[in-house]
Amino acid sequence: MPSHYDAWRFWLGVVNSAGTIAIGVYVWLVTRDRVTNKRITDLDKKMGEMLATFKEKQSAKCTEHQRRTSELEVSIQNFPTHDDIGAVHDRITSVKGGVDELAGLIKGMRDNVTLLVDHHLRGE
């Protein structure tokens, strides 16, 4: 016949086994969370470094674009206006007219020189 001591021993073993299993599950969860938290912390650190590097590169690019834009704005201010181009066109047209007139005079002079040369080569 089982004694009262054997019943206590059985239940103490059950409680001991349940406690050991509970502690094992707790340790597993804590360890798993610690590893996960370390991985997340490492990932967060790397992302922060990458973001800082990206911001530095973007800042340098933005500075370069601002410099180039400023140079273009200064250059555009010095471009000739529509009125300036119209004035140049008018001046070119007047020069062309003068050149055409000079070409006509030179042609007339060439014809006169040709007549004089013919007259002197043939005699009277």
Structural domain boundaries of the chain?
1-79, 81-124
> Which strand (E) or helix (H) includes residue 62?
helix 4-77
Strand, helix or coil at 2? coil
Residue for token pair 């490492």: 42
- For the entire predicted model, the pTM comes to 0.37
Per residue in 2-22, pLDDT (tens digit) is 577 888 888 899 999 999 999
Contact assessment for residue 88 and residue 80, using Cβ atoms and an 8 Å cutoff: yes
Residue 121 banded pLDDT, cuts 50, 70, 90: confident
Please tell me the distance from the alpha carbon of residue 118 to that of residue 116, in angstroms, as a whole number: 5
Per residue in 102-113, pLDDT (tens digit) is 999 999 999 999
